[in-house]
Amino acid sequence: MLQNEVLIIILLAVLGTATILGISASKRTRTSDKESSKLVSATALTHLEACLDAANIPMLIIDQNLSISYASKSLQNLINFVPKALIGASLLELIHREDQETAKELILQQNQAHEVSQADVKLRRAGDGWIRVRAYSGRLPSNLILMLIQDVSLTESLRVQLEIEHAKIEIAERVANLGLWERDTSTGQEVWSDQTFKIYGLKPGSLEPSYEYLLRIVHPDDRDRVDSAYRDSIKALSAYDVSYRILLPDSSIRVVHSKAQIVKGADSHLLLTGTVQDVTEQKVNEESLLRQALHDPLTGLPNRVMLGQQLEKLLASNRSRSIAVLFLDLDNFKAVNDNLGHQAGDSLLVAVARRLSANLRPTDFAARFGGDEFTVVVTKVKSIDYVVSIAKRIIESISQPFDIAGERVYTSTSIGIALCSSSEDSASSLLRKADIALYKSKSLGRGTYVIFDQSMEQEASEILELERNLRTAIQNDQFIVHYQPIVDAATGKVEMIEALLRWNSPNGILSPDKFIPIAEEVGLINTLGELVLNKACEQTAYLKATTGAKFITSINVSAKQLRQPHFTNNLESMLHKYDLQPKDVQLEITENALVEEVECITNALKEIKTLGIRIAIDDFGTGYSSLSYLRKLPIDLIKIDQSFVKMLPNDEEHRAIIYTIISLACSLDLEIIAEGVEEKSQREILLSMGCKFIQGNLISHPVDLESIKLILGHTSPK
């Protein structure tokens, strides 16, 4: 039985007792005078008050003027007033101004009827503000009114709190787009919150919620999965957690995520109680982020991560393992970046990506591996000839001119091919094999392809070992500089010496052709270039100081060194460091490097020239420079490549080429050095053609520091 019902019964019992006491008093005083009657009534009231105090319930007795004639002892615990202090006071003094009319209405009802009535009002608490109570009132004999007081402040507070919490839940549902639902697994009855209706595109309360309706709006492709998740949850009494698409009444498609737990209801029925959330925007964002994570932002092609994932999936699902990987990069891409700018370089990469994709079947795909490197995965390979045909098609396509920023840009590509040969091949092993084949392809020249074979594995291991040893050698200062004299062809006087880097390895002295290509490939060429430049300058200062000889030290530099932003400043600082004059050194750069890096290298050479340092073109005749091009370069001399010199004196064609080069140099007021002179007859022919300087084993092999010191100080090579 509820508490307020109990209080009403108590009130009725008290009223009954008061009535009996009143009738008894009336009988005893029927023949008595008024004074005796008052005495008997007072006695009856005293007995009533004693009964009320014994009940231990907060009570008041008031008269028709709202004056308090009695306050129970337990009332003090509620409002902190001593009962005696309230006698004679007006009831309205205890009631909040907002509720005084309600109190008057309650008393008026008692004057008009004899039923129990109730009202909620706020009573004053001594020294502690107000407290909300529920007053139950009834009439006593002698026109008195009895009030039972019930504290409902906690109940009211809970009600308000519940309303607040309910409002919070509604707000949270709207903000998070989260709906609540409950399903009785025994009866199938469902309850949805308003937000659940809205998520499903419905007006709240527009239909009777049901699992059958839910399945109808689930996307057909997701329906079986949702139903299986529901049935598995019921069967295993486990959590329900599933995402699915729904078809809304307006034909739009949304993605929702529903989660629920099995709980036992009051009637022991199993209830599936959970939430449903619209996660459409989240899914869109996730897919966008996933695409960004797996695709190259510039070209839109799959990136290295997605390449690995897709390749692993193909290998796992392809029993015949008929897969090939093509690894390719662009030749001369750096020159496009340097000459036309990075934006042009980016445009070229995008255009290359399009051409790659255009040459593939729908079952194949291209990916950007990084920088100017791309990968092509070919599936359903029936023969190696088919893969080769794709490689040739790609090489041909890339070799066609590109229209970049209004300029016709030419590039080419080298390709390494790896075929899946066994069940042990993985994505990483195929990519590594294709990369090894690419390295081999690049060593053969531009626009070529190479198919990986097992012999390359050993070569690659040796290259890797060489790279490790190179790094160790740099750390341990194992590199030394040898020098080869360059002499006046007529007098034999040493005019210059060329600084040539050597690796003093544990296996003996190694020449540059054994390690420079690897150094360029792994990014160590600048380190080695700076090392030889520093050693050559330091030792030149030493040789000048110890021999007193006048000579120029010729130092080789790479295109990569010249592209460094502060190369000229560093070179000038090095000259100052060793107290050298600009005329004491000259720099050599190969003709091929010069052609590949036209604008960038030309600008760098002009800066160097302003310092007063001479510049030479090495290996001239092996590249593609033209007469007009040579006129624009700030160069001082040309070194004829030894491949032409070694054919003298018998090869008339090479004799004609050398003569043409010397004539060209003279017309441009450039000095000439012939490299690779090994025979006296070669020197005589070169001298007769007007060649000023010669260099080669006829004069001296490259020698160490102390040997070149002797040559400079004591002898003149003949």
Residue 98 CA to residue 121 CA, distance in Å, equals 9
Give the Å distances, CA to CA, from 282 to 250, 253, 485. Answer: 21, 14, 73
Please tell me whether residues 132 and 22 are part of one structural domain: yes
Q: Are residues 265 and 338 in the same domain?
A: no
Residue 342 included in any domain? yes
**For position 394, which CATH number holds?**
3.30.70.270
Mean pLDDT, the chain, whole residue set: 82
Contacts (Cβ under 8 Å, ≥6 apart) of 162: none
Q: Show which of 284, 304, 320 is a domain's final residue.
A: 284
- pLDDT higher than threshold 80 for residue 673: yes
Sign of the CA dihedral 603, 604, 607, 613? Answer: negative
The answer to whether residues 130 and 251 belong to one domain is no
- In a domain? residue 467: no
Say whether pLDDT at 28 is over 50: no
Residue 398 within a domain: yes
**Residue 709: inside a domain, yes or no?**
yes
What's the CA gap between 485 and 241, in Å, rounded? 82
Q: Cβ neighbours of residue 331 under 8 Å, at least 6 residues apart?
A: 411, 412, 413, 414, 442, 446, 447
- Greatest mean pLDDT among 133-147, 369-383, 499-513, 572-586 lies in 572-586
Q: Is the model's pLDDT at 21 over the cut of 50?
A: no
Whether residue 591 has pLDDT greater than 70: yes
pLDDT at 34 over 50: no
Do 447 and 503 reside in the same domain of the chain? no
Q: Residue 519 has what pLDDT?
A: 85
Interval 396-448: pLDDT, tens: 999 898 888 788 888 889 999 998 876 677 888 888 889 989 988 887 878 88
Residues 707 and 649 reside in one and the same domain: yes
180 confidence band (pLDDT: 50, 70, 90)? confident
Element (H, E) at 556: strand 552-556
Of residues 425 and 62, more confidence is placed in: 62
Degrees, nearest 5: CA angle 561-562-568:
105
Identify the domain containing residue 710 by its residue range.
476-714
Whether residue 210 contacts residue 227, with contact meaning beta carbons closer than 8 Å, is answered with: no
- The shares of helix, strand and coil residues in the chain, as percent rounded to the nearest 5, are 50, 25, 25
Residues 321 and 410 in one domain: yes
Q: Which of 407, 422, 453 is the last residue of a domain?
A: 453
31 pLDDT above the threshold of 50: no
Is residue 263 within 8 Å of residue 273, measured between CB atoms? yes
Check residue 6 and give its pLDDT: 47
- Which residues on neighbouring strands pair with residue 71, listed in sequence order? 60
Count of structural domains within the chain: 4
For residue 670, pLDDT beyond 80: yes
DSSP 169-213: HHHHHHHHTEEEEEEETTT--EEE-HHHHHHTT--TTSS---HHH
Do 231 and 380 fall into the same domain? no
Indicate if 299 and 279 belong to the same structural domain: no
pLDDT in the model for residue 318:
66
Residues 449 and 413 in one domain: yes
Strand partners, 117: 137
pLDDT at residue 450 greater than cutoff 80 = yes
Residue 460 in any domain: the answer is: no
Does the predicted model carry a pTM greater than 0.85?
A: no
Among residues 108, 127, 151, which one ends one of the domains? 151
Share of the chain above pLDDT 70, in %: 84
- State the CATH number of the domain containing residue 116: 3.30.450.20
* Count of other CB atoms within 10 angstroms of residue 3: 11
Instruction: Verify that 303 and 445 share a domain, yes or no.
Output: yes
Tell me, letter by letter, the H, E, C secondary structure of 447-484.
CCEEECCCHHHHHHHHHHHHHHHHHHHHHCCCEEEEEE
Most confident of 90-94, 414-418, 466-470, 535-539: 535-539
Rounded distance between C-alpha atoms, residue 38 and residue 180, angstroms = 68
Residue 58 · residue 149 · CB < 8 Å: yes
Question: Is there a single domain that holds both residue 358 and residue 489?
Answer: no
462 in any annotated domain: no
Q: How confident is the model at residue 319 (pLDDT cuts 50, 70, 90)?
A: low
pLDDT of residue 647: 83
Q: Which residue has the higher pLDDT, 594 or 432?
A: 432
150 pLDDT more than 50: yes
70's CB contacts (< 8 A; 6+ apart) are 45, 49, 52, 59, 60, 61, 83, 87
Q: Are 120 and 134 in contact (CB under 8 A)?
A: yes
Q: Which of 199-208, 265-274, 549-558 has the highest mean pLDDT?
A: 549-558
Look at residue 458 and tell me if it is in a domain.
no
Per-residue pLDDT at 569: 92
Q: Comparing C-alpha atoms, which of 299, 411, 414 is closest to residue 365?
A: 299
pLDDT computed for residue 46 by the predictor: 62
Give the pLDDT of residue 321. Answer: 65
Q: What digits encode the pLDDT tens for the residues 599-644?
A: 778 888 999 999 999 999 888 876 555 555 677 788 999 998 888 8
The whole-angstrom separation of Cα 462 and Cα 476 is 20
pLDDT tens-digit map of 216-234: 999 999 999 999 998 898 8
CATH of the domain at 543: 3.20.20.450
pLDDT value, residue 56: 72
pLDDT higher at 116 or 202: 202
In a domain? residue 8: yes
Q: Do 147 and 176 belong together in one domain?
A: no
- Partnered with residue 264 across adjacent β-strands are 270
